[in-house]
Structure 1
Amino acid sequence: MSRRGSAAEGVFLEDIPVDTTLRRHLGELSAEVREALLRIGAIRRVAAGAVVMEDNSLCDELGYILEGTLAMVKHLRDGRRHIIGLLVPTDFFGRLFDGPATFSVEAIGDARLLSFPRAPFEALLGQEPDLERLFMVHLLDELDAAREWLLLMNGPKVVQRVASFLLILLRRMADNASSEVVLPLARKDLAHYLGARPETLSRAFASLARQGAIEPIDAVSGRYRVLDRQMLLDLSGQDLVLE
Protein backbone atom coordinates (compact mmCIF):
# COMPACT_ATOMS: atom_id res chain seq x y z
CA MET A 1 0.00 0.00 0.00
CA SER A 2 1.45 3.36 -1.02
CA ARG A 3 1.06 6.60 0.93
CA ARG A 4 2.50 8.91 -1.71
CA GLY A 5 0.77 12.16 -2.59
CA SER A 6 -1.99 12.00 0.05
CA ALA A 7 -4.64 14.65 -0.65
CA ALA A 8 -5.73 14.96 2.99
CA GLU A 9 -5.09 13.32 6.33
CA GLY A 10 -6.33 9.75 6.16
CA VAL A 11 -6.41 9.65 2.35
CA PHE A 12 -3.79 7.48 0.64
CA LEU A 13 -3.10 6.29 -2.89
CA GLU A 14 -3.46 2.57 -3.64
CA ASP A 15 -1.17 0.54 -5.87
CA ILE A 16 -4.06 -1.02 -7.80
CA PRO A 17 -4.40 -0.87 -11.60
CA VAL A 18 -6.86 1.90 -12.36
CA ASP A 19 -7.78 0.37 -15.72
CA THR A 20 -9.21 -2.76 -14.09
CA THR A 21 -11.43 -0.60 -11.87
CA LEU A 22 -12.50 1.61 -14.76
CA ARG A 23 -13.58 -1.43 -16.76
CA ARG A 24 -15.59 -2.83 -13.86
CA HIS A 25 -17.32 0.39 -12.84
CA LEU A 26 -17.39 2.50 -16.01
CA GLY A 27 -17.55 -0.23 -18.63
CA GLU A 28 -20.23 1.60 -20.63
CA LEU A 29 -17.65 4.19 -21.66
CA SER A 30 -15.60 3.65 -24.80
CA ALA A 31 -12.04 2.36 -24.61
CA GLU A 32 -10.80 5.80 -25.72
CA VAL A 33 -12.58 7.58 -22.87
CA ARG A 34 -11.35 5.01 -20.34
CA GLU A 35 -7.82 5.49 -21.64
CA ALA A 36 -8.14 9.25 -21.21
CA LEU A 37 -9.44 8.78 -17.65
CA LEU A 38 -6.66 6.29 -16.97
CA ARG A 39 -4.07 8.98 -17.67
CA ILE A 40 -5.47 11.32 -15.00
CA GLY A 41 -7.11 9.00 -12.44
CA ALA A 42 -5.89 7.40 -9.23
CA ILE A 43 -7.43 5.05 -6.68
CA ARG A 44 -7.47 6.33 -3.12
CA ARG A 45 -8.04 4.54 0.14
CA VAL A 46 -9.88 6.74 2.63
CA ALA A 47 -9.71 6.09 6.35
CA ALA A 48 -12.82 6.40 8.51
CA GLY A 49 -13.26 9.98 9.66
CA ALA A 50 -11.17 11.51 6.88
CA VAL A 51 -12.44 14.72 5.32
CA VAL A 52 -12.08 14.35 1.56
CA MET A 53 -13.69 17.68 0.66
CA GLU A 54 -13.79 20.73 2.92
CA ASP A 55 -16.88 22.87 3.39
CA ASN A 56 -16.63 26.28 1.64
CA SER A 57 -13.48 25.27 -0.25
CA LEU A 58 -12.69 25.15 -3.95
CA CYS A 59 -12.79 21.50 -4.94
CA ASP A 60 -9.68 20.50 -6.88
CA GLU A 61 -10.67 16.85 -7.28
CA LEU A 62 -13.67 14.82 -8.39
CA GLY A 63 -14.33 11.51 -6.64
CA TYR A 64 -16.21 8.37 -7.71
CA ILE A 65 -17.04 6.00 -4.86
CA LEU A 66 -15.97 2.37 -5.30
CA GLU A 67 -16.53 1.04 -1.79
CA GLY A 68 -17.83 2.42 1.50
CA THR A 69 -20.11 5.30 2.44
CA LEU A 70 -19.36 9.00 2.66
CA ALA A 71 -21.48 11.68 4.30
CA MET A 72 -22.26 15.17 3.05
CA VAL A 73 -22.01 17.31 6.18
CA LYS A 74 -23.19 20.89 6.64
CA HIS A 75 -21.37 22.89 9.31
CA LEU A 76 -23.51 25.55 10.98
CA ARG A 77 -22.21 28.77 12.51
CA ASP A 78 -23.08 27.64 16.03
CA GLY A 79 -20.76 24.65 15.66
CA ARG A 80 -23.39 22.00 14.97
CA ARG A 81 -22.91 19.49 12.17
CA HIS A 82 -25.76 18.03 10.14
CA ILE A 83 -25.56 15.08 7.76
CA ILE A 84 -27.56 16.25 4.75
CA GLY A 85 -27.01 13.22 2.52
CA LEU A 86 -25.13 9.99 1.98
CA LEU A 87 -22.88 8.95 -0.89
CA VAL A 88 -22.65 5.25 -1.76
CA PRO A 89 -20.81 3.25 -4.47
CA THR A 90 -21.30 4.60 -8.02
CA ASP A 91 -21.93 8.14 -6.67
CA PHE A 92 -19.73 11.06 -7.74
CA PHE A 93 -18.81 14.01 -5.57
CA GLY A 94 -17.06 17.28 -6.30
CA ARG A 95 -18.09 20.63 -7.73
CA LEU A 96 -17.22 21.37 -11.36
CA PHE A 97 -17.41 24.61 -13.37
CA ASP A 98 -18.47 26.54 -10.28
CA GLY A 99 -17.47 28.07 -6.96
CA PRO A 100 -16.69 26.58 -3.54
CA ALA A 101 -18.44 23.56 -2.04
CA THR A 102 -21.37 24.25 0.26
CA PHE A 103 -20.76 21.18 2.47
CA SER A 104 -17.94 18.86 3.42
CA VAL A 105 -17.60 15.22 2.39
CA GLU A 106 -16.44 12.90 5.17
CA ALA A 107 -15.82 9.16 5.30
CA ILE A 108 -18.19 7.34 7.66
CA GLY A 109 -16.07 4.19 7.45
CA ASP A 110 -13.10 3.05 5.41
CA ALA A 111 -13.73 3.69 1.72
CA ARG A 112 -12.10 3.48 -1.71
CA LEU A 113 -12.45 6.15 -4.37
CA LEU A 114 -11.51 6.83 -7.95
CA SER A 115 -10.05 10.33 -7.87
CA PHE A 116 -9.65 12.72 -10.82
CA PRO A 117 -8.07 16.20 -10.75
CA ARG A 118 -10.68 18.84 -11.50
CA ALA A 119 -9.12 20.79 -14.38
CA PRO A 120 -8.18 17.78 -16.58
CA PHE A 121 -11.56 16.17 -15.89
CA GLU A 122 -13.40 19.36 -16.88
CA ALA A 123 -11.40 19.51 -20.11
CA LEU A 124 -12.14 15.85 -20.85
CA LEU A 125 -15.82 16.39 -20.10
CA GLY A 126 -15.99 19.02 -22.82
CA GLN A 127 -14.34 16.70 -25.36
CA GLU A 128 -16.16 13.42 -24.75
CA PRO A 129 -19.99 13.35 -25.12
CA ASP A 130 -20.26 9.90 -23.49
CA LEU A 131 -18.50 11.12 -20.37
CA GLU A 132 -20.57 14.30 -20.35
CA ARG A 133 -23.74 12.19 -20.53
CA LEU A 134 -22.55 10.01 -17.62
CA PHE A 135 -21.92 13.09 -15.51
CA MET A 136 -25.31 14.59 -16.41
CA VAL A 137 -26.95 11.37 -15.24
CA HIS A 138 -25.05 11.82 -11.98
CA LEU A 139 -26.46 15.33 -11.60
CA LEU A 140 -29.97 13.99 -12.11
CA ASP A 141 -29.26 11.35 -9.45
CA GLU A 142 -28.26 14.17 -7.10
CA LEU A 143 -31.61 15.86 -7.71
CA ASP A 144 -33.39 12.57 -7.01
CA ALA A 145 -31.41 12.19 -3.78
CA ALA A 146 -32.44 15.71 -2.71
CA ARG A 147 -36.10 14.86 -3.36
CA GLU A 148 -35.68 11.63 -1.40
CA TRP A 149 -34.27 13.62 1.52
CA LEU A 150 -37.31 15.92 1.52
CA LEU A 151 -39.60 12.90 1.39
CA LEU A 152 -37.64 11.16 4.12
CA MET A 153 -37.85 14.08 6.54
CA ASN A 154 -41.53 14.65 5.69
CA GLY A 155 -42.55 11.77 7.94
CA PRO A 156 -43.77 13.16 11.30
CA LYS A 157 -43.06 9.84 13.06
CA VAL A 158 -39.66 8.22 13.42
CA VAL A 159 -40.99 4.86 12.22
CA GLN A 160 -42.07 6.56 8.97
CA ARG A 161 -38.60 8.05 8.48
CA VAL A 162 -36.96 4.69 9.15
CA ALA A 163 -39.25 2.96 6.65
CA SER A 164 -38.48 5.63 4.03
CA PHE A 165 -34.75 5.33 4.73
CA LEU A 166 -34.84 1.55 4.30
CA LEU A 167 -36.67 1.94 0.97
CA ILE A 168 -33.99 4.38 -0.21
CA LEU A 169 -31.23 1.96 0.82
CA LEU A 170 -33.02 -0.91 -0.90
CA ARG A 171 -33.14 1.05 -4.14
CA ARG A 172 -29.62 2.44 -4.02
CA MET A 173 -27.50 -0.20 -2.30
CA ALA A 174 -29.08 -3.64 -2.51
CA ASP A 175 -28.42 -6.18 -5.23
CA ASN A 176 -31.42 -6.42 -7.56
CA ALA A 177 -31.82 -10.09 -6.68
CA SER A 178 -31.61 -9.44 -2.94
CA SER A 179 -33.79 -7.77 -0.34
CA GLU A 180 -30.97 -7.27 2.14
CA VAL A 181 -29.73 -3.85 3.22
CA VAL A 182 -26.83 -2.81 5.41
CA LEU A 183 -27.13 0.36 7.45
CA PRO A 184 -24.25 2.66 6.39
CA LEU A 185 -24.27 4.52 9.72
CA ALA A 186 -23.82 3.56 13.34
CA ARG A 187 -27.08 3.73 15.32
CA LYS A 188 -26.10 6.98 17.06
CA ASP A 189 -25.23 8.65 13.75
CA LEU A 190 -28.33 7.25 12.04
CA ALA A 191 -30.50 8.63 14.84
CA HIS A 192 -28.93 12.05 14.32
CA TYR A 193 -29.41 11.74 10.55
CA LEU A 194 -33.11 10.90 10.97
CA GLY A 195 -33.75 13.47 13.67
CA ALA A 196 -34.44 10.94 16.45
CA ARG A 197 -33.06 9.66 19.72
CA PRO A 198 -31.19 6.32 19.59
CA GLU A 199 -33.75 4.60 21.82
CA THR A 200 -36.62 5.90 19.67
CA LEU A 201 -34.81 4.63 16.59
CA SER A 202 -34.45 1.17 18.14
CA ARG A 203 -38.16 1.08 18.91
CA ALA A 204 -38.93 2.02 15.30
CA PHE A 205 -36.86 -0.88 13.95
CA ALA A 206 -38.50 -3.24 16.45
CA SER A 207 -41.95 -2.02 15.38
CA LEU A 208 -41.19 -2.64 11.68
CA ALA A 209 -39.95 -6.13 12.55
CA ARG A 210 -43.05 -6.95 14.65
CA GLN A 211 -45.32 -5.92 11.79
CA GLY A 212 -43.47 -8.17 9.37
CA ALA A 213 -41.99 -5.50 7.11
CA ILE A 214 -38.37 -6.38 7.94
CA GLU A 215 -36.35 -8.92 9.89
CA PRO A 216 -32.91 -8.46 11.45
CA ILE A 217 -30.15 -10.63 10.03
CA ASP A 218 -27.50 -9.13 12.27
CA ALA A 219 -28.80 -6.10 14.12
CA VAL A 220 -25.37 -5.39 15.63
CA SER A 221 -23.78 -4.89 12.21
CA GLY A 222 -26.94 -3.29 10.85
CA ARG A 223 -27.97 -5.99 8.36
CA TYR A 224 -31.69 -6.37 7.66
CA ARG A 225 -33.89 -8.21 5.18
CA VAL A 226 -36.94 -6.47 3.75
CA LEU A 227 -39.80 -8.97 3.83
CA ASP A 228 -42.61 -6.83 2.45
CA ARG A 229 -41.76 -3.78 0.34
CA GLN A 230 -45.38 -2.73 -0.05
CA MET A 231 -45.90 -2.81 3.70
CA LEU A 232 -42.73 -0.78 4.15
CA LEU A 233 -44.02 1.74 1.62
CA ASP A 234 -47.40 1.93 3.40
CA LEU A 235 -45.73 2.38 6.78
CA SER A 236 -43.48 5.11 5.41
CA GLY A 237 -46.52 7.28 4.77
CA GLN A 238 -45.14 8.45 1.43
CA ASP A 239 -48.19 10.40 0.30
CA LEU A 240 -46.32 11.71 -2.75
CA VAL A 241 -46.10 8.25 -4.32
CA LEU A 242 -48.63 7.90 -7.17
CA GLU A 243 -50.05 4.58 -8.21
Structure 2
Amino acid sequence: MDDDAKPAEDRGREPVVWPEQCRSLMRLASDASRAALKAMAAEREIPAGTVLAEDGQSLTEVGYVLEGTLGMVKLLPDGRRHIIGILIPTDLFGRVFELPLSFRVVALTRARLLTFPLAPFQALLEREPELERLFMVHVLDELDAAREWLLLMNGQRVIQRVASYLILLARRAPGEGAAEITLPLGRKNLAQFLGARPESLSRAFAELARRQVIKALDARGERYRILDPQRLLEISGQDLWLDPPQRPG
Protein backbone atom coordinates (compact mmCIF):
# COMPACT_ATOMS: atom_id res chain seq x y z
CA MET A 1 0.00 0.00 0.00
CA ASP A 2 1.26 3.53 -0.74
CA ASP A 3 2.64 5.54 2.17
CA ASP A 4 -0.12 8.12 1.71
CA ALA A 5 -2.89 5.53 1.42
CA LYS A 6 -5.12 5.08 4.45
CA PRO A 7 -7.50 2.15 4.89
CA ALA A 8 -11.17 3.04 4.92
CA GLU A 9 -12.50 3.35 8.45
CA ASP A 10 -15.72 1.69 9.58
CA ARG A 11 -17.40 4.48 11.52
CA GLY A 12 -20.69 2.66 11.95
CA ARG A 13 -23.85 3.07 9.97
CA GLU A 14 -26.32 5.69 11.09
CA PRO A 15 -29.60 6.67 9.41
CA VAL A 16 -29.12 9.75 7.25
CA VAL A 17 -31.27 12.36 5.55
CA TRP A 18 -31.69 11.40 1.90
CA PRO A 19 -29.51 13.70 -0.27
CA GLU A 20 -30.87 15.65 -3.22
CA GLN A 21 -28.74 13.72 -5.73
CA CYS A 22 -30.63 10.47 -5.12
CA ARG A 23 -34.23 11.62 -4.71
CA SER A 24 -35.29 9.80 -7.90
CA LEU A 25 -34.67 6.44 -6.24
CA MET A 26 -36.76 7.47 -3.26
CA ARG A 27 -39.69 8.61 -5.39
CA LEU A 28 -40.00 5.19 -7.03
CA ALA A 29 -39.52 3.15 -3.88
CA SER A 30 -42.48 1.78 -1.96
CA ASP A 31 -42.98 3.03 1.58
CA ALA A 32 -41.41 -0.12 2.99
CA SER A 33 -38.43 0.04 0.62
CA ARG A 34 -37.97 3.75 1.27
CA ALA A 35 -37.75 3.02 4.98
CA ALA A 36 -35.31 0.17 4.30
CA LEU A 37 -33.11 2.42 2.14
CA LYS A 38 -32.98 5.08 4.83
CA ALA A 39 -32.17 2.50 7.48
CA MET A 40 -29.26 0.98 5.55
CA ALA A 41 -27.84 4.25 4.20
CA ALA A 42 -24.87 5.93 5.83
CA GLU A 43 -23.12 9.22 5.16
CA ARG A 44 -19.46 9.35 5.97
CA GLU A 45 -16.50 11.60 5.38
CA ILE A 46 -13.12 10.19 4.44
CA PRO A 47 -9.77 11.99 4.22
CA ALA A 48 -7.69 12.21 1.07
CA GLY A 49 -5.68 9.02 0.54
CA THR A 50 -8.33 6.68 1.94
CA VAL A 51 -8.41 3.42 -0.04
CA LEU A 52 -11.94 2.06 -0.47
CA ALA A 53 -10.82 -1.05 -2.36
CA GLU A 54 -7.56 -2.46 -3.64
CA ASP A 55 -6.93 -3.78 -7.14
CA GLY A 56 -8.31 -7.34 -7.23
CA GLN A 57 -10.75 -6.80 -4.37
CA SER A 58 -14.53 -6.40 -4.48
CA LEU A 59 -16.28 -3.46 -2.87
CA THR A 60 -18.69 -4.44 -0.13
CA GLU A 61 -20.78 -1.30 -0.56
CA VAL A 62 -22.33 0.79 -3.28
CA GLY A 63 -23.16 4.46 -3.17
CA TYR A 64 -22.83 7.99 -4.45
CA VAL A 65 -20.17 10.66 -4.17
CA LEU A 66 -21.67 13.69 -2.43
CA GLU A 67 -18.54 15.85 -2.10
CA GLY A 68 -14.94 15.51 -3.17
CA THR A 69 -13.29 13.24 -5.73
CA LEU A 70 -12.56 9.52 -5.86
CA GLY A 71 -10.02 8.11 -8.27
CA MET A 72 -9.73 4.81 -10.10
CA VAL A 73 -5.99 4.22 -9.91
CA LYS A 74 -3.72 1.64 -11.52
CA LEU A 75 -0.38 0.98 -9.84
CA LEU A 76 2.32 0.44 -12.47
CA PRO A 77 5.14 -2.13 -12.09
CA ASP A 78 7.71 0.64 -11.56
CA GLY A 79 5.74 2.00 -8.59
CA ARG A 80 4.14 4.92 -10.39
CA ARG A 81 0.39 5.34 -10.32
CA HIS A 82 -1.92 6.19 -13.21
CA ILE A 83 -5.35 7.74 -12.65
CA ILE A 84 -7.62 6.05 -15.19
CA GLY A 85 -10.87 7.68 -14.11
CA ILE A 86 -12.42 9.95 -11.51
CA LEU A 87 -15.73 10.02 -9.65
CA ILE A 88 -17.15 13.40 -8.66
CA PRO A 89 -20.38 14.50 -6.93
CA THR A 90 -23.52 12.61 -8.04
CA ASP A 91 -21.39 9.80 -9.52
CA LEU A 92 -22.19 6.23 -8.56
CA PHE A 93 -19.42 4.04 -7.18
CA GLY A 94 -19.30 0.32 -6.49
CA ARG A 95 -20.83 -2.53 -8.44
CA VAL A 96 -24.16 -4.21 -7.92
CA PHE A 97 -22.61 -7.48 -9.09
CA GLU A 98 -19.65 -8.53 -6.97
CA LEU A 99 -16.73 -8.57 -9.37
CA PRO A 100 -13.07 -8.02 -8.52
CA LEU A 101 -11.87 -4.55 -9.43
CA SER A 102 -9.05 -4.06 -11.92
CA PHE A 103 -7.98 -0.84 -10.20
CA ARG A 104 -7.72 0.74 -6.76
CA VAL A 105 -10.50 3.08 -5.59
CA VAL A 106 -8.96 5.89 -3.53
CA ALA A 107 -10.07 9.31 -2.29
CA LEU A 108 -8.05 11.92 -4.18
CA THR A 109 -9.47 14.66 -1.96
CA ARG A 110 -11.47 14.75 1.25
CA ALA A 111 -14.77 13.20 0.27
CA ARG A 112 -18.29 12.70 1.61
CA LEU A 113 -20.10 9.56 0.52
CA LEU A 114 -23.57 8.07 0.76
CA THR A 115 -23.13 4.30 1.04
CA PHE A 116 -25.30 1.19 1.19
CA PRO A 117 -24.09 -2.28 2.23
CA LEU A 118 -24.03 -4.31 -0.97
CA ALA A 119 -25.93 -7.49 -0.02
CA PRO A 120 -29.03 -5.79 1.51
CA PHE A 121 -29.07 -3.27 -1.34
CA GLN A 122 -29.03 -6.08 -3.92
CA ALA A 123 -31.88 -7.85 -2.12
CA LEU A 124 -33.95 -4.65 -2.10
CA LEU A 125 -33.48 -4.15 -5.85
CA GLU A 126 -34.61 -7.72 -6.49
CA ARG A 127 -37.85 -7.01 -4.60
CA GLU A 128 -38.54 -3.73 -6.45
CA PRO A 129 -38.30 -4.11 -10.27
CA GLU A 130 -38.94 -0.40 -10.93
CA LEU A 131 -36.27 0.57 -8.43
CA GLU A 132 -33.87 -1.89 -10.04
CA ARG A 133 -34.64 -0.46 -13.48
CA LEU A 134 -33.90 3.09 -12.36
CA PHE A 135 -30.72 2.04 -10.60
CA MET A 136 -29.54 0.30 -13.78
CA VAL A 137 -30.10 3.61 -15.61
CA HIS A 138 -27.68 5.13 -13.09
CA VAL A 139 -25.24 2.30 -13.88
CA LEU A 140 -25.53 3.01 -17.61
CA ASP A 141 -24.90 6.70 -16.95
CA GLU A 142 -21.77 5.71 -15.02
CA LEU A 143 -20.54 3.62 -17.95
CA ASP A 144 -21.21 6.50 -20.36
CA ALA A 145 -19.26 8.85 -18.10
CA ALA A 146 -16.34 6.41 -17.92
CA ARG A 147 -16.19 6.24 -21.72
CA GLU A 148 -16.21 10.02 -21.93
CA TRP A 149 -13.38 10.36 -19.43
CA LEU A 150 -11.39 8.00 -21.66
CA LEU A 151 -12.00 10.37 -24.59
CA LEU A 152 -9.84 12.92 -22.78
CA MET A 153 -6.74 10.94 -23.67
CA ASN A 154 -7.53 11.06 -27.41
CA GLY A 155 -6.42 14.68 -27.68
CA GLN A 156 -2.95 14.85 -29.19
CA ARG A 157 -2.29 18.22 -27.57
CA VAL A 158 -2.59 19.04 -23.88
CA ILE A 159 -4.90 21.98 -24.63
CA GLN A 160 -7.34 19.56 -26.32
CA ARG A 161 -7.40 17.31 -23.25
CA VAL A 162 -7.90 20.28 -20.93
CA ALA A 163 -10.76 21.58 -23.12
CA SER A 164 -12.47 18.16 -23.08
CA TYR A 165 -12.03 17.95 -19.30
CA LEU A 166 -13.65 21.37 -18.82
CA ILE A 167 -16.56 20.43 -21.09
CA LEU A 168 -17.34 17.33 -19.05
CA LEU A 169 -17.23 19.36 -15.84
CA ALA A 170 -19.35 22.17 -17.32
CA ARG A 171 -22.08 19.68 -18.25
CA ARG A 172 -22.49 18.92 -14.55
CA ALA A 173 -22.56 22.56 -13.46
CA PRO A 174 -25.98 23.76 -12.21
CA GLY A 175 -27.91 26.51 -13.95
CA GLU A 176 -27.79 27.84 -17.47
CA GLY A 177 -25.56 30.24 -19.35
CA ALA A 178 -21.86 30.67 -18.60
CA ALA A 179 -20.95 27.71 -16.41
CA GLU A 180 -18.81 28.24 -13.33
CA ILE A 181 -16.83 25.16 -12.40
CA THR A 182 -14.49 24.14 -9.62
CA LEU A 183 -11.73 21.76 -10.64
CA PRO A 184 -12.10 18.55 -8.61
CA LEU A 185 -8.41 17.67 -8.93
CA GLY A 186 -5.28 19.59 -7.99
CA ARG A 187 -2.67 20.18 -10.69
CA LYS A 188 -0.50 17.20 -9.71
CA ASN A 189 -3.39 14.70 -9.86
CA LEU A 190 -4.84 16.38 -12.95
CA ALA A 191 -1.47 16.09 -14.69
CA GLN A 192 -1.43 12.35 -13.93
CA PHE A 193 -5.00 11.99 -15.16
CA LEU A 194 -4.44 13.86 -18.43
CA GLY A 195 -0.98 12.44 -19.06
CA ALA A 196 0.74 15.82 -19.02
CA ARG A 197 3.30 17.77 -17.02
CA PRO A 198 1.95 20.35 -14.54
CA GLU A 199 3.71 23.16 -16.41
CA SER A 200 2.05 22.03 -19.66
CA LEU A 201 -1.33 22.20 -17.93
CA SER A 202 -0.61 25.72 -16.73
CA ARG A 203 0.24 26.81 -20.26
CA ALA A 204 -2.96 25.22 -21.61
CA PHE A 205 -5.16 27.01 -19.05
CA ALA A 206 -3.33 30.28 -19.74
CA GLU A 207 -3.86 29.89 -23.50
CA LEU A 208 -7.58 29.22 -23.06
CA ALA A 209 -7.83 32.33 -20.89
CA ARG A 210 -5.86 34.37 -23.45
CA ARG A 211 -8.34 33.31 -26.15
CA GLN A 212 -11.17 34.42 -23.82
CA VAL A 213 -12.64 30.92 -23.76
CA ILE A 214 -12.38 30.66 -19.97
CA LYS A 215 -11.77 33.08 -17.11
CA ALA A 216 -10.05 32.26 -13.81
CA LEU A 217 -12.18 33.20 -10.80
CA ASP A 218 -9.50 32.79 -8.14
CA ALA A 219 -5.75 33.24 -7.80
CA ARG A 220 -5.12 29.52 -7.25
CA GLY A 221 -6.63 28.50 -10.58
CA GLU A 222 -9.24 26.21 -9.02
CA ARG A 223 -12.41 27.97 -10.22
CA TYR A 224 -13.22 29.02 -13.77
CA ARG A 225 -16.05 30.49 -15.78
CA ILE A 226 -16.66 29.04 -19.26
CA LEU A 227 -17.06 32.14 -21.45
CA ASP A 228 -17.32 30.49 -24.87
CA PRO A 229 -18.60 26.89 -24.65
CA GLN A 230 -18.83 26.46 -28.42
CA ARG A 231 -15.21 27.50 -28.91
CA LEU A 232 -14.22 25.12 -26.12
CA LEU A 233 -15.93 22.29 -28.00
CA GLU A 234 -14.02 23.19 -31.16
CA ILE A 235 -10.68 23.25 -29.35
CA SER A 236 -11.34 19.86 -27.75
CA GLY A 237 -11.58 18.21 -31.16
CA GLN A 238 -13.79 15.52 -29.59
CA ASP A 239 -17.29 14.27 -30.32
CA LEU A 240 -18.71 15.79 -27.14
CA TRP A 241 -21.79 17.87 -26.45
CA LEU A 242 -22.67 20.48 -23.87
CA ASP A 243 -25.91 18.90 -22.66
CA PRO A 244 -25.83 15.48 -20.98
CA PRO A 245 -27.69 12.68 -22.76
CA GLN A 246 -31.24 12.12 -21.51
CA ARG A 247 -32.50 8.67 -20.61
CA PRO A 248 -36.12 7.81 -19.96
CA GLY A 249 -36.91 8.22 -16.27
Mark yes or no: TM-score above 0.5. Answer: yes
RMSD over aligned Cα atoms: 2.1
Residues 224 and 114 from structure 1, CA distance in 2 versus in 1: closer, same or farther, beyond 3 angstroms? same
1:133 offset after TM fit, Å? 2.1
Counterpart of 2:23, as a letter, is G
Contact 1:170 1:179 in 2 (8 A): yes
Is residue 235 of structure 1 aligned with residue 232 of structure 2? no
Deviations 1:76-131 (A, max 9, x none): 33322111111111111112223211112111211111111111111111111232
Counterpart in the other structure of 2:245: none
Question: How many residue pairs end up in the alignment?
Answer: 231
Counterpart of 1:211, as a letter, is R
SS of the residue aligned with 2:217? strand
Aligned counterparts of 1:149 and 1:9: Cα–Cα separation in 2: 26
Counterpart in the other structure of 1:4: none
Structure 2: which 5+ runs fail to align?
Answer: 1-5, 242-249
Counterpart of 1:163, as a letter, is A
Counterpart in the other structure of 2:161: 161
Counterpart in the other structure of 2:3: none
Is residue 188 of structure 1 aligned with residue 185 of structure 2? no
Deviations 1:34-75 (A, max 9, x none): 211112221111111111122211221112111111111122
Counterpart in the other structure of 1:212: 212
Contact 2:57 2:100 in 1 (8 A): yes
1:12 offset after TM fit, Å? 3.8
Tell me the TM-score normalised to structure 1 length: 0.87
- Superposition misfits of 4+ residues, deviation over 6 angstroms: none
Counterpart in the other structure of 1:73: 73
How is 1:11-160 mapped onto 2 (pairs within 5 angstroms)?
12-13=11-12, 17-18=15-16, 20-22=17-19, 24-28=20-24, 29=26, 30=29, 32=31, 33-160=33-160
Aligned counterparts of 2:70 and 2:51: Cα–Cα separation in 1: 9
Is residue 176 of structure 1 aligned with residue 175 of structure 2? yes
| Residue range with higher mean Cα deviation, 24-33 or 108-117 | 24-33
Tell me the TM-score normalised to structure 2 length: 0.85
Contact 2:160 2:236 in 1 (8 A): yes
Percent identity, aligned pairs only?
56
Residues 230 and 49 from structure 1, CA distance in 2 versus in 1: closer, same or farther, beyond 3 angstroms? same
Contact 1:41 1:114 in 2 (8 A): yes
Aligned counterparts of 2:66 and 2:154: Cα–Cα separation in 1: 30
1:11 offset after TM fit, Å? 6.0
Structure 1: which 5+ runs fail to align?
Answer: 1-6
Contact 1:11 1:46 in 2 (8 A): no
Aligned counterparts of 2:137 and 2:200: Cα–Cα separation in 1: 37
